[in-house]
Amino acid sequence: MTRATHDFRYEILDEVGHRPWPMPAGPWIMTQTWHDLLFAHWPVDRRELQTRAPGLELDDFDGQAWLGIVAFEMTNVAPRRSPALPWISAFPEINVRTYVRVHDKPGVYFFSLDAGNPMAVWFARAFFHLPYYSAAIEVRRSADGAIDYHSRRGGGGAEFHARYAAAGDAAPPAAGSLEHFLTERYCLFTVDRANRLCRVDIHHPPWPVQPAVAEFRVNTLAQAAGIRLPSTAPVLHFARRQDVVNWPLVRA
């Protein structure tokens, strides 16, 4: 990972007018900066997703449920008031997710998260009860701006290999649009070891999303989660950067 660290944009904490609910009253605990994101979304049978997210109400758009695969790199991953550290605070990650609603709060539910940092995997599993896996991830950037992203889960597991790029101008997604539904999420839900539903709140500015193009060479991430992707082409978006803070895990 060659990106610079220590460049988190703390001014995002003052940008709150777009939020669907106020920021939590307690202090946030961690910073993250996400880079060069691919959002790839497929319409998926609601019943199939529901069996993989038991006890949760799926959130849909005009009656359609969605599965997302999101690939990116992270920097500035550090506890509050702590500096970002080389080889610990910067690593690539890719996740498989869908959208749920709990007590009328829309959020994200993850089927898997693969990261190129074993320490981050251990921490997220231990303290946030998220289904993280260690993976070998290689990210290459071409002179034309395209990104070659290759992830293979440890032990020869799920694999993802795609080449993607932005294909238009960046703009915040319009309220009520599919882009807004798929990206503007301000919490995630997970289940702890006692099978209790928990929530992690996050904050970030509106997403600066762009249209995207992508070529998928290998993609078995959804299959590894027991979900079949349709043969239809995915809906694709790109985002250059997003700065994020998150709060501690709480009971939902």
Residue pLDDT, tens place only, 153-182: 998 789 999 999 999 999 999 999 999 999
The alpha carbon of residue 96 and the mean position of all alpha carbons in its chain are separated, in whole angstroms, by 8
Which residues lie closer than 8 Å to 158 by C-beta, 6 or more apart? 112, 114, 133, 152, 220, 221, 223, 224
Task: Indicate the average pLDDT of the chain.
Answer: 95
pLDDT at 1 over 70: no
Rounded CA-CA distance 89/238 in Å is: 23
Rounded CA-CA distance 79/81 in Å is: 6
Residue type for position 187 = C
Domain ranges of the chain: 28-251
Q: Which fold has domain 28-251?
A: Acetoacetate decarboxylase-like (2.40.400)
pLDDT for residue 5 = 54
Q: Could you tell me the pLDDT band of residue 242, with boundaries at 50, 70 and 90?
A: very high
CB atoms under 10 Å from CB of 195, counted, come to: 8
The predicted-structure confidence for 94-120, as pLDDT tens digits, reads as follows: 999 999 999 999 999 999 999 999 999
Q: Could you tell me the pLDDT band of residue 55, with boundaries at 50, 70 and 90?
A: confident
